């Protein structure tokens, strides 16, 4: 380890800052502030590898701060550390903040240590990376996983009108069919519902990210449970969350961003590490359940694929 990474903590409670500083000061160059504006000043003036922010602060909310951080210094990895966040905040942290981790207060020392450590390592490695490629992509494939034909139709129409059919859209209604497509074709972007025939397919999204991190995931659902969303950030690194009903503008922006990110990852594979996911906690997967089967199915499929390659 050559140089200490710089970590910035932002919280309106000084005692939190003192505690975190005590914790990290030996291994990192630690900056702390209670003000969002001051934090942005620090980001502008020096290279900050990791920003850890509270959500509920006076003047500037955590999500707004992290969005600005992303604009000013895209290399800085962003972590939200909060005791309570509403749905809007969590969705905002995905869509606008593109955060790396969401950590709940009170936190477990090891959790935050790991999150900060991984984030710092990633940031140190990604000195020069392109985040959103401007080059035009080829004829890529979007897979839509949703039981509602209306959703698939809406996406097809949007792709046709906005991207003049630059992308193919493949609509599947079951996990089996989805696996089939993933096995046969190179999928660039998945637009997926969270509930499929009443089953939570969060595990599918998470396992897929672990084995095929280059596939960009857009989740669209009317189901908005904060804990589920947090899981999708930490273990699924989903690119966007679009609440249903879908809106044309938001969908097109998300797709556009997704393809630019997809292309950027192609050009600069080190970018992938920035979306490294946490391994889902073993306690959360019960043997014999759908989640368990999916985990194995996807694992096996990609092992076979890489063996063939």
Contact 146, 193 (CB under 8 A): yes
**Residue from 4, 29, 38, 56 that binds another protein (CB under 8 A)?**
56
Phi, psi values for residue 37, rounded to 5°: -65, -40
15 binding another protein? (CB under 8 A): yes
Instruction: Determine, following the binding rule CB under 8 A, whether residue 227 of this chain makes contact with another protein.
Output: no
Q: Minimal distance in Å, beta carbon 200 to another protein?
A: 24
Backbone phi, then psi, for 44, in 5-degree steps?
-70, -35
Q: Give whichever of 85 and 120 is closer to another protein, judged by the CB atom.
A: 85
> At which residue do the structure tokens 């669209």 appear?
220
Could you tell me the two tokens for 246?
Answer: 């879908």
The reply to whether omega before 106 is within 30° of 0 (cis) is yes
Q: Which stretch binds another protein (CB under 8 A): 17-25, 160-168, 237-245, 272-280?
A: 17-25
Name residues whose C-beta falls within 8 Å of residue 293's C-beta, 6 or more positions apart in sequence: none
| Using rule CB under 8 A, residue 131 touches another protein | no
| Among positions 4, 47, 105, 276, the unique one binding another protein when judged by CB under 8 A | 105
- Is residue 60 near another protein by the rule CB under 8 A? no
Phi and psi of 189, rounded to 5°? -135, 135
> d(Cα 147, Cα 177) in Å, to the nearest integer?
12
Smallest separation (angstroms) from another protein to the CB of 54: 8
Considering only residues 84, 223, 281, 303, which one is a binding residue for another protein as defined by CB under 8 A?
84
Tell me which residues touch another protein (CB under 8 A).
Answer: 13, 15-16, 18-20, 22-23, 26, 56-59, 81-84, 104-109, 112
């Amino acid at each position: 380890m050559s140089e200490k990474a710089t970590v910035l903590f932002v919280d309106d409670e000084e005692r939190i800052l003192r505690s975190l500083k005590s914790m990290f000061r030996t291994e990192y160059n630690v900056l702390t502030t209670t003000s969002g504006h001051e934090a942005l000043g620090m980001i502008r003036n020096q290279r900050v590898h990791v920003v850890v922010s509270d959500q509920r602060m006076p003047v500037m909310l955590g999500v707004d701060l992290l969005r600005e951080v992303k604009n000013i210094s895209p290399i800085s990895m962003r972590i939200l550390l909060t005791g309570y966040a509403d749905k809007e905040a969590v969705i905002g942290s995905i869509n606008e903040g593109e955060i790396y981790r969401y950590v709940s207060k009170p936190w477990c020392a090891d959790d935050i240590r790991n999150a900060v450590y991984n984030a710092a390592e990633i940031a140190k490695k990604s000195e020069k990376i392109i985040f959103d490629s401007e080059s035009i992509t080829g004829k890529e494939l979007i897979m839509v996983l949703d039981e509602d034909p209306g959703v698939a139709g809406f996406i097809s129409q949007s792709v046709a009108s906005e991207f003049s059919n630059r992308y193919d859209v493949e609509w599947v209604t079951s996990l089996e069919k989805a696996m089939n497509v993933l096995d046969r074709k190179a999928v660039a972007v998945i637009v997926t519902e969270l509930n499929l025939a009443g089953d939570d397919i969060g595990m599918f999204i998470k396992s897929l990210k672990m084995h095929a991190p280059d596939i960009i995931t857009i989740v669209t659902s009317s189901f908005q449970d904060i804990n589920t969303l947090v899981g999708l950030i930490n273990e699924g690194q989903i690119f966007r969350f679009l609440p249903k009903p879908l809106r044309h503008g938001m969908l097109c922006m998300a797709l556009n961003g997704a393809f630019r990110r997809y292309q950027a990852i192609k050009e600069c594979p080190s970018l992938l590490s920035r979306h490294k996911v946490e391994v889902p906690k073993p306690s959360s997967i019960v043997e014999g359940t759908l989640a368990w089967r999916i985990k194995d199915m996807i694992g096996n499929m990609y092992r076979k694929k890489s063996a063939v390659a």
